[in-house]
Amino acid sequence: MNELNKILILFAHPALEKSIVNKSLFSALQGLEKITTHDLYEVYPDFFIDVTFEQELLKEHDIIVFQHPLYWYSSPALLKKWQDLVLEHGFAYGEGATALHGKKLLSAITTGGIREAYQKNGVNRYTIRQILTPFDQSAHFCGMEYLPPFVVHGARLEDNCGNTDRLAREYQTLILALRDNRLNYQEIRQYEYLNQCLDLLNP
């Protein structure tokens, strides 16, 4: 039996009381073996980040997940500050800094716009994978592998708001598959979104 991966969910939502989909996705991962759920806005409401604690968390886990709504083509402010402070020289990158080497990074995001809006000819002009390039490059710079993102488009649309249970189950299924090493990384790299890998788990 393969050894289980330890997964850290770094959750960043500054208005959780207004969240519909993200709250359900995050709740679906609570209490699962080898999965640590870490709500940054709950832990750091004053934005004073405990850098040493966060770096120790990273070292203890194999797969890191940035879960957040897409805010202005990036992450909410606290997660950006987390990146600026925690992924510092001498720890995440630089000569002899190998703490994150070999780990994997996944973006799990929600967007207000529909998928068609994130195309070359769409209102946002770029695909989600292009928009997430800074996260991809950051992972690469830190010696990590960036996985295809898990994406829920149109998070506030009625279809998704009424199907939060299904979306949460799909998210949980994929996270558990990553934990249990049931996905072939060579195979999933071909996909635009991790969501598409559900077919591999349910042939």
Is pTM, for the whole model, over 0.75? yes
Which fold, 7-201? Rossmann fold (3.40.50)
Q: Is residue 100 within 8 Å of residue 141, measured between CB atoms?
A: no
Amino acid identity for residue 178 in this structure = L
The two tokens of residue 8 are: 């850290």
Please tell me the predicted confidence (pLDDT) of residue 160.
56
The C-alpha atoms of residue 118 and residue 31 are separated, in whole angstroms, by: 34
Q: Given 3-state DSSP classes, what are the helix, strand and coil percentages for the chain, each rounded to the nearest 5?
A: 40, 15, 45
Structural domain boundaries of the chain?
Answer: 7-201
Please tell me the predicted confidence (pLDDT) of residue 148.
97
pLDDT tens digits, residue range 60-105? Answer: 999 999 999 999 999 999 999 999 999 999 999 999 999 999 999 9
pLDDT band for position 36 (50/70/90)? Answer: very high
pLDDT tens digits, residue range 40-56? Answer: 999 999 999 999 999 99
Would the pLDDT of 182 be above 90?
A: yes
The C-alpha atoms of residue 126 and residue 86 are separated, in whole angstroms, by: 29
Would the pLDDT of 155 be above 90?
A: no
Would the pLDDT of 158 be above 70?
A: no
Please tell me the predicted confidence (pLDDT) of residue 157.
66
